[in-house]
A and B are shown apart, each in its own frame.
Chain A
Amino acid sequence: MSEAKSVTVLRENVWTSNPIFMQVLGICSALAVTNLLINTVIMTLGVTLVTGFSSLTVSLLKKLIPRKVRMIIQTLIIAFYVIIVDLVLRAYMPDVSKNLGPYVGLIITNCIIMGRAEAFAQSNGPFISFWDGITSGLGYMGVLLLVAVVRELLGFGTLLGYQIMPPTFLPWTIMVMAPSAFFILAIIIWIGKSIQMRQGKGATA
């Protein structure tokens, strides 16, 4: 894996084609798990690890997988890693597992993981695929953490459970509910795209 390529992959996945705000993939979980920062941290860590390892495995097996069953094998690989994450959480972090409840299992349905397996790992080597998966996960994590910070701060007045806002602060109920994630996500996409367009203009001028 050449250094230049890994830097390009990193920049693309975290910024220029960020899975959330450029490709708008995997936003179902962006809406569901972002009202408490701690849940978001664990969930996005899970997604990052699963994306990395599924991409690695798909890339290792890619020459052997018949085209007809390609997608189903990818799903199998992804499900395998998700169940491992779920079991590990249950055994070693029961409290976190209790908090996240059904959402760990739902990592399987995250489109980013399959998207990276299909778009990148199918046609690249194992190490760069692993790196691609991890950085895609980081891109996802960055945006979700941003959304979660805004939602927890305004919705509960806390961050990671610690009171931040003054006691007189009236929590915004809407921030706790799923619709607020739409608004915040849209604002993040707006800001992100504006910055990128300005950069694009600067480059061509």
Chain B
Amino acid sequence: MDRQGTIYTMIFSFIVTFAFVFLLSLTNQATVGMVKLNQETTRQGAILAAMGIAHAGPQEVLEKFKSIRTEQKGGVTLYTTTRNGETIYAAEFAGSGLWSTIRGVVGVNSDVTRILGLEIISQGETPGLGGRIDEQWFKDQFTDEKVVNGQIQVDMHNAGAPDTSHDNGQVDGITGATITSTSVGRIVNDELETLRSILGGKS
């Protein structure tokens, strides 16, 4: 058969494409369970971390997550548990950053006056710049941070050291990633607003 002819070209292209796509589907099938499990442990781990519950390894995450209660309220899935006699909450949030949708979890105390923790589940911001919102030092700034005037401020002027005070309602942004940093602030503040409106009556 003529190797440069139209018929051969079509048949060849079809077979090659079919073969490669078939192999890809097989690989996808083989890994899909694992990828799903990874995503689920990441999500549950994030919820635990946002509530300040320490955990190590996927096994422990699945184990400790059993103590978390889930309730639907005002269209939001709330995760609750009791810590030192106080009911604490966590909720997943999503909002747009510079390039991507930033998904994460924020944990709050019963009257939304303090953020207990912040975790990022997924983001596609610039690696090394906006992508650093997932670094521990950045997230640690939100741990036990006081909510001042109903919100937190992302400071972009004080480049360098992270904000160590947990009572000023301020966190330090990431140098070179102004839009991502302020987006995180905006998304978290929106989520605090929502949580306040849901939990407001309880306090």
Contacts and interface: CB of A to CB of B under 8 A. Distances in A.
A87 B27 contact: yes
B42 A94 contact: yes
B17 A76 contact: yes
Q: Looking at chain A, what size class is its interface with the partner chain?
A: 35 or more
A7 B195 CA distance: 65
Chain B's interface size range is 20 to 34
Contact of A67 (B4, B16, B127): B4
A35 B129 CA distance: 9
Given A36-B128, A66-B4, A98 B35 contact: no
A11 to B, nearest CB: 32
A84 B27 contact: yes
A65 to B, nearest CB: 7
Contacts of A73: 13, 16
A198 interface: no
A142 interface: no
A165 interface: no
Contacts of A101: 100, 123-125, 127, 131
B127 A99 contact: yes
Contact of B128 (A39, A91, A98): A39
Contacts of A5: none
Contacts of B129: 35, 176-177
Interface in B1-55: 3-5, 8-9, 12-13, 16-17, 20, 23-24, 27-28, 31, 34-35, 38, 42
Interface of B: 3-5, 8-9, 12-13, 16-17, 20, 23-24, 27-28, 31, 34-35, 38, 42, 100, 122-125, 127-129, 131, 134, 159-160, 175-176
